Structures are given as C-alpha cells and as structure tokens.
C-alpha cells in the first residue's frame, strides 16, 4: 500500500500494435504504459480488494480492446512499533 508495483501487459497479435495501455484498479487507481513497453507503475493508495483491467487505446491498424478483469487483494503494509530506550541516571550528592 502506497508503493508502486509494476504491472506487465501484452497486446497482440504481431506485429506489435502501437498506442497506449491504461491499467485501472477499482476504486480509481491507474497507470498508463506506451507500447511496446509492456508495463506501467501502479500505486495502490489503500488496502482492500481490487478489480484490475487493462484497456488498449487502439491505433490505425488495431481496434481498441479491454482485458478480462483480474481480482487482487491489496494487504495493509506491515509496521514496527518501538519505544526509544533512554535511561538517565541522576545522582545527588549532599
């Protein structure tokens, strides 16, 4: 959560189509990759279930298309809790 993950995608058939692919995760996170790169960085802002799809924009040869949705669960980030250990000794001499 809060970190970018690489999402890989492919668009076929060969020869490789041109244009862009936008990967969208509910509730609204998205990233866009320019072909033929085949990936983009997606950052999940909160934990919880997601439905992820990839949408190809199309070009002069190939029509736009949308992938089959993929379900993914984003877990909460782990944490560590610690207390600072500070010991102060005070001595009073009469």
Q: What's the confidence (pLDDT) of residue 33?
A: 94
My answer on whether omega of the bond before 15 falls inside 30° of 0, hence cis, is yes
What is the domain count for the chain? 1
With a pLDDT cut of 90, the percent of the chain lying above it is 48
Banded pLDDT at 25 (limits 50, 70, 90): very high
Q: What's the confidence (pLDDT) of residue 93?
A: 61
Q: Tell whether 58 is covered by a domain.
A: yes
Q: Tell whether 74 is covered by a domain.
A: no
Banded pLDDT at 71 (limits 50, 70, 90): very high
Banded pLDDT at 86 (limits 50, 70, 90): low
- Output the pTM of the full model: 0.77
Q: Tell whether 93 is covered by a domain.
A: no
Q: Tell whether 83 is covered by a domain.
A: no
Q: Which domain holds residue 46?
A: 4-69
First-to-final CA distance of the chain: 58
Q: What's the confidence (pLDDT) of residue 31?
A: 95
Q: Tell whether 12 is covered by a domain.
A: yes
Q: Tell whether 94 is covered by a domain.
A: no
Banded pLDDT at 87 (limits 50, 70, 90): low
């Amino acid at each position: 959560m809060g970190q970018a993950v690489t999402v890989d995608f492919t668009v076929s058939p060969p020869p490789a189509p041109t244009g862009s692919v936008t990967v969208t995760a509910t509730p609204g996170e998205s990233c866009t990759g320019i072909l033929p790169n085949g990936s983009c960085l997606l950052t999940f802002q909160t934990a919880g279930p997601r439905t992820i799809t990839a949408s190809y924009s199309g070009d002069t040869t190939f029509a736009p298309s949308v992938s089959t949705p993929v379900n993914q669960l984003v877990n909460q980030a782990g944490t560590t809790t610690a207390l600072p250990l500070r010991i102060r000794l005070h001595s009073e001499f009469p």
